[in-house]
Amino acid sequence: MMPIMPRHAYALLTLAAACAFTAGAHAQPPAGARTAAAARTAAAAAAGCLPAYNGYLRAHLRDASELDINWHDPGMQCDGDVSPGAHAIRLTFVGRVQPGHHRVRFVFGIDAPPVAGVTHNVPAGVTVIFEGERRLYSTRGTDKCTVDDLSQQPIGAAAAHLLRVSARGFCIGAATRVGGSGDALLLTTFDFAGRIYNPPSGR
């Protein structure tokens, strides 16, 4: 039988894997940034994903069984941010596979700056967290997945610093279980539309 990790160890591993691409971030953001981040999180929880309710996540996962994700606004939540130095973006999607089941969290780290426009063949990494089940899978880098098409477009007024991000891609390498028995999860295909917050320079 596989040993079960202590809760505190699992929480630390979850935080480390989901936030790996932000290594080197400032230890403590300014109070104004923390207030803005809290407001955005509250707004996301209340409004679902995108203001126009056109966010989505579709993904095909393969491990011991096959699982298809097909989430749409407003039945899911999403959010996103930018790495220190603005060299990469991260998008998070949260929903349920079936009503009554635990939530599943997808975190996509994409090696692209937050710039409006369309780019192709961008390296990416993914973390999948089955909340409440102590299961966390991570590609541990951006060398196993590729975003074929990445589009970033402003949402509303430019001063809002919000970008709608849509992407389509695939993974050729599996996300391995963190702290587990070596089992893995392959995200064969994915496409999504979510959002990132790109704060003004210097904040």
Per-chain mean pLDDT for the chain: 80
Show the domain range for 165: 49-197
In a domain, 20, yes or no: no
In a domain, 151, yes or no: yes
The residue among 186, 189, 169 whose CA lies nearest residue 177 is: 186
Cross-strand bridge partners of residue 169: 147, 190
List Cβ neighbours of 107 (8 Å cut-off, separation of 6 or more): 18, 90, 91, 92, 126, 127, 128, 129
Assess whether pLDDT exceeds 70 at residue 20.
Answer: no
What's the pLDDT at 53?
Answer: 93
In a domain, 32, yes or no: no
Q: How confident is the model at residue 65 (pLDDT cuts 50, 70, 90)?
A: low
What's the pLDDT at 103?
Answer: 92
Assess whether pLDDT exceeds 60 at residue 3.
Answer: no
Helices and strands: H and E segment counts in the chain = 2, 11
Q: In this predicted model, what pLDDT tens digit does every residue of 162-184 receive, in sequence order?
A: 999 999 999 999 999 988 677 89
Other CB atoms within 10 A of residue 106 CB: 25
What's the pLDDT at 159?
Answer: 57
Count of domains for the chain? 1
Q: How confident is the model at residue 138 (pLDDT cuts 50, 70, 90)?
A: very high
Q: What percent of the chain has pLDDT over 70?
A: 71
| C-alpha span between 194 and 94 (Å, rounded) | 11
In a domain, 81, yes or no: yes
Average pLDDT over residues 114-133: 95
| C-alpha span between 161 and 158 (Å, rounded) | 6
**What pTM does this model have?**
0.77
The residue among 102, 88, 77 whose CA lies nearest residue 21 is: 88
